[in-house]
Amino acid sequence: MFFDEMFGHTKDTDAQAREPYADYANWFDSQDPARLKKKALECEGFFRRTGITFNVYGQEEADERLIPFDIVPRVIAAKEWNRLSRGIEQRVKAINAFLYDIYHRQEILRAGRIPHHLIAENDAFLPQMIGVTPPGGIYTHIVGTDLVRTDDDQFYVLEDNARTPSGVSYMLENRETMLQMFPEVFSKLQVRPVSDYPANLQRSLAECAPAATKNEPVVAVLTPGIHNSAYFEHSFLADQMGAELVEGHDLQVVDGRIAMRTTRGYTPIDVLYRRIDDDYLDPMNFRPDSLLGVPGIMDIYKAGGITIANAPGTGIADDKAIYSYMPDIVEFYTGEKAILENVPTWRCSEEDSLKYVLDNLADLVVKEVHGSGGYGMLVGPTASKKQISEFRAKLKAKPANYIAQPTLSLSTVPILTKKGLSPRHVDLRPYVLVSPKGVDIVPGGLTRVALKKGSLVVNSSQGGGTKDTWVLEE
């Protein structure tokens, strides 16, 4: 039986709610079901008017969609959140230390804690970053750490998003929507706010400005453009931060700085929050056919003329093969055992692990090492015999491209259906800001929910939705 975060180990939605949900459950039970359903429809209209959409690649029809939103919040007790926060902070500090080491002395490789080939043969490792120290020594300015829960006190880190974690705009809009629809609930429950994230993001990025910055740092957001799946978020965050939203063709090198075109000429930028991949960042240093980046930006970056957030080359830290070594990475750089556990992982590049995975495909989840968005993965228990057979061939052809994990009993949180409350599986992506002055973790994050009954895949691109996440005050 799955652990339900509202009701515990029971399928009875009339059971007594767990302590974090007690006050919310009392309020919910006092509501007219017809009113709640009407409010749920109003939420959909609100999202549609606001333009909160995402693009789905590879589908000709309905390529722009609303992310479904469920009005039943996920509630996290203060003591639960305190433990998660400590574990997340420990992890992001270790990741930053790992990145510095990998691009400098590579002590962790010398110590034999990580195989050398895992770095040397990894497409996410950027030789251009060797010996380069970002301003303030910060590589991962914004991190999204995906967490799953399997029991009352058991959380696992599912993956680390250290490149360009997305979804924070949905977290903010989910809260704004709930505040508008159900203001009375927030007067009854002491829920920690998340609305200060854009201001904290702007401040944290400004704190990472190059040492030569003399005045108030100029921050800009670099987007690939309106056809990108997360364009809404790029424009939303730029607007909320009071920063300029720019594309590659708006920028050029002027007097040894990266400057953006304005109505008054070119204005130098100190911090560039880039939402494009490394390969497209600079056609002079990476893909020569890139029309999205800025020619010469890597040279300015290496000279200390601009901060790029997140730093180029951070993708090596959220590679899924590297993920399997995160407990070692945390211990190596902090001297402490990891507070948050990894999901047990088989590296298919290893002969014994590959044999086990091939023999147990029907029971495992297999993921591409560089995959994201729920694409390129096999969920064994829900896959057909044909899908398993096809994946078996992929594994045998390129085993190093995959890792495998057990099918976890993900916790559930109820959603509102036509028949009332019904449990659905969830994960959680807290957002972390890192600067030389410290680590700032948003109290909550984005809860993604698998809206299909029994499904374990929460990604919006695969039919998932979102919930507001409430962290209670102590």
Q: What does the pLDDT look like over 45-89, one tens digit per residue? A: 888 777 665 555 444 444 566 788 999 999 999 999 999 999 999
Q: What is the pTM of this model?
A: 0.92
Residues of the chain above pLDDT 90, percent: 77
Q: What is the pLDDT of residue 267?
A: 95
Q: What is the pLDDT of residue 397?
A: 94
- Distance between CA atoms of residues 417 and 404, nearest Å: 33
DSSP-assigned letter for residue 473: P
Q: State the CB neighbour count (10 A cutoff) for residue 34.
A: 8
- Distance between CA atoms of residues 229 and 52, nearest Å: 11
Q: What is the pLDDT of residue 55?
A: 54
Q: Which helix (H) or strand (E) holds 257?
A: strand 257-262
Close Cβ partners of 150 (under 8 Å, ≥ 6 residues apart): 3, 156, 408, 409, 410, 411
Q: What is the pLDDT of residue 249?
A: 96
Q: What does the pLDDT look like over 217-246, one tens digit per residue? A: 999 999 999 988 889 899 999 999 999 999
Report the chain's mean pLDDT, rounded to a whole number: 91
Close Cβ partners of 135 (under 8 Å, ≥ 6 residues apart): 208, 209, 210, 211, 304, 307
Close Cβ partners of 364 (under 8 Å, ≥ 6 residues apart): 346, 357, 378, 380, 404, 405, 406, 407
Mean pLDDT within 439-444: 97
DSSP-assigned letter for residue 335: S
- Distance between CA atoms of residues 113 and 451, nearest Å: 40
Q: Does domain 344-406 have CATH number 3.30.1490.270?
A: yes
Alpha helices in 51-156 (DSSP H): 78-102, 107-110, 116-120
Residue 339 Cα distances to 168, 295, 326, 327, 334, angstroms: 24, 42, 11, 9, 11
- Distance between CA atoms of residues 277 and 269, nearest Å: 19
CATH 3.30.1490.270 residue window(s) in the chain: 344-406
Residue 289 DSSP SS3: coil
Q: What does the pLDDT look like over 267-293, one tens digit per residue? A: 999 999 999 999 999 999 999 999 999
Residue 30 Cα distances to 23, 349, 448, angstroms: 11, 55, 26
Q: What is the pLDDT of residue 57?
A: 46
Could you write out the DSSP letters of every residue in 160-189?
EE-S----HHHHHHHHHHHHHH-HHHHHHS
